[in-house]
Amino acid sequence: MPTYDFSGKVAFVTGGGRGQGRSHAQHYAKHGADVVVTDICENIGTNPYELSTSDDLAETASLVEDEGQEALAIEMDVRDESDVEAAVDEALDEFGRIDILANNAGIFNASEATEMDEAMWDEMIDTNLKGVWLCSKHVGQHFIDRGDGGKIVTTSSTAGFVGTPANGHYVATKHGVRGLTKTLALELAEYDVNVNAVAPTGIDTPMISGYVESYGEEMLNQIAELTGPFNVFGDGGMIEAKDISEAYMWLSSDAARYVTGITLPVDAGMLAK
């Protein structure tokens, strides 16, 4: 595993209760950062599977502390600006600074666009896209006020490059993340803030297992008939959260100091098809 030095830095991770967010939090801690972990810790009405709990979030914080770093767990809804602003203020009160924003919070559900309920559309857009903007707005303002740089890394998806059946709302958010990333990179460049995104392929996380449990293997098989297996490497199945975390670490580090405005696929060759 590459060695990055985040000593003295603070990472603010959304969707940190489990899955990719937990992995990112642990990786930042392994490399010396203190970590603020946030999650909604309740379910969202149109999402068919269970989301993270307060206990999940507390476990992530404990795992950060196991790495010898300080952790602050905050229950926060990325869709609610007052929640986001309060969480950022609490993090600054606790640590005095935020150096890295990891925009990871997201949901994943399914409906064909012509049959989708408006609430499903709205809750997806609010969580996966508006939430990225709100967190970037408030942490970004801290970066501007402080004036000595920062990093924003956001989770897009291979669905940010291609369409997928029954996921039009999700696809729209992940395309939107790419555009927002480019714009924020331009707006924050004068403040020495790097803004990038990562585009994972399918990952073995509770989000994906919850999706499969809710909709069944049949839906995934139908999509595979149209698009083929997820990946070129291996058996075409899922990759691991730690593979995305490694991309997050690089983009958060000084090694990527001249990288901004990109979306980096970590897709085992999926998009090459």
- pTM for this model (two decimals): 0.94
227 or 53, which is more confident: 53
Domain at 10-261, CATH from 3.40.50.720, 3.40.50.2300, 3.40.50.12780, 3.40.50.300: 3.40.50.720
Q: What mean pLDDT is reported for the chain? A: 93
Whether the predicted pLDDT of 225 surpasses 90: no
Q: Give me the pLDDT at residue 100, please.
A: 99
**Residue from 4, 28, 49, 170 carrying the catalytic annotation:** 170
Indicate the pairing of strand 71-75 with strand 100-103: unpaired
Q: Give me the pLDDT at residue 41, please.
A: 98
269 or 22, which is more confident: 22
Question: Residue 235: which pLDDT band, with cuts at 50, 70 and 90?
Answer: low
pLDDT digits (tens, 9 = 90+) for 43-92: 999 999 999 999 999 999 999 999 999 999 999 999 999 999 999 999 99
Q: For this structure, is 170 an active site residue?
A: yes
Q: In what order do the strands lie in the sheet with 71-75?
A: 71-75, 34-39, 10-13, 100-103, 150-155, 193-200, 263-266
Closest CA to 127 of 108, 142, 144, 114: 108
Q: Where are the domains of the chain?
A: 10-261
pLDDT digits (tens, 9 = 90+) for 118-134: 999 999 999 999 999 99
